Amino acid sequence: MILKLGGSVITDKSGDCAVDHGRLRFVAHEIAKRSDKIRLVVVHGAGSCGHPEAHRHHLDKGVDYNNKAGIAITHAAVSTLNAAVVDALRAEGVDAIGVHPLGSCVAENGRLRTFECGPLRAMLELGIVPVLHGDVVMDDSRGACIVSGDQLVRMLPQQIPVNRIGLATDVEGVLDDGTVVKEIRPETVGTLTLTASGHTDVTGGMKGKIEELLQLAEEGTESEIFHILRLGDFLDNVENGGTRVLK
């Protein structure tokens, strides 16, 4: 299964790279309790470790000689968070390894074009948990761009067999007028009021997330969005009180 940890879940998005180590310990503990029963890929967002840097260097508008320094600066920020996630998992006995999209992905006009997943397949065969993250990647038309964790989640099922996808967030699910929407389908999404994140987020927040997941559902892989405190329920494949995205 794929578990996506939202950036707002594991960082404080109002500051610069403020990692929530307590939340990471909780996540790692829940995964460790079930590590002998599940085969897992973890993907996490950047939160406050990457979005501010990408915004300051205008990476969402493309990269040339004038702002190319932003590639290394942004990648360093997201890598710091990735290391914290990996360290938390390993401290609980989970054999986790960080995988950086900068070295394995190429984009075209802001969208992932290639993603070399051979190393992921080999890790999974050995019982290792790969930990990927939203990252800056090279882009054939823009020079470089930001690829969100949600883009990675959408592309992974094209490369490796995936049974279940879960997105852990800081809300109970997708909310419409304060109420959790139990199911979202292409024909119903137009009736919902979806907005982007209120924090600095160059990848579109909840609106961008739903767009990615609806495309994923159309390709045959359904997903669930739930509150991080219900992570154990998702891992146990029981009702988690969140939103299912269906075709």
pLDDT in tens, 66-90: 999 999 999 999 999 999 999 999 9
Domains delineated in the chain: 2-245 (3.40.1160.10)
Q: What is d(CA 80, CA 233) in angstroms, rounded to the nearest whole number?
A: 29
Secondary structure of the chain: what % helix, strand, coil (to 5)? Answer: 40, 25, 40
> What sections of 112-219 are H helices per DSSP?
118-125, 149-155, 205-218
The token pair that represents 66 in the structure block = 């004038």
At residue 95, does pLDDT exceed 80? Answer: yes
Most confidently predicted of 12-16, 46-50, 73-77, 175-179? 73-77
Model pLDDT, residue 60: 87
Model pLDDT, residue 194: 67
**Cβ neighbours, 10 Å, residue 87:** 14
Q: What is the mean pLDDT of residues 91-106?
A: 97
Q: What is the mean pLDDT of the chain?
A: 91
Sheet containing 165-169: order of strands: 96-98, 129-133, 41-44, 2-5, 165-169, 223-227, 243-245, 183-184
Residue 210's pLDDT band (cuts 50, 70, 90): confident
At residue 206, does pLDDT exceed 80? Answer: no
pLDDT in tens, 163-198: 999 999 999 999 888 899 999 999 988 888 764 444
- Positive or negative, the CA dihedral 70, 61, 211, 121 is negative
Short-list 28, 27, 21, 81, CA closest to 51: 81
End-to-end CA distance of the chain: 19
- Positive or negative, the CA dihedral 162, 13, 230, 37 is positive
Short-list 219, 214, 206, CA closest to 244: 214
- Positive or negative, the CA dihedral 242, 48, 46, 189 is positive
49 φ/ψ sector (left φ>0, alpha ψ -120 to 50, else beta):
beta
Q: What is d(CA 168, CA 88) in angstroms, rounded to the nearest whole number?
A: 17
Q: What is the mean pLDDT of residues 142-161?
A: 93
Residue 239's pLDDT band (cuts 50, 70, 90): very high
**Percent of the chain's residues with pLDDT above 90:** 74
Model pLDDT, residue 207: 75
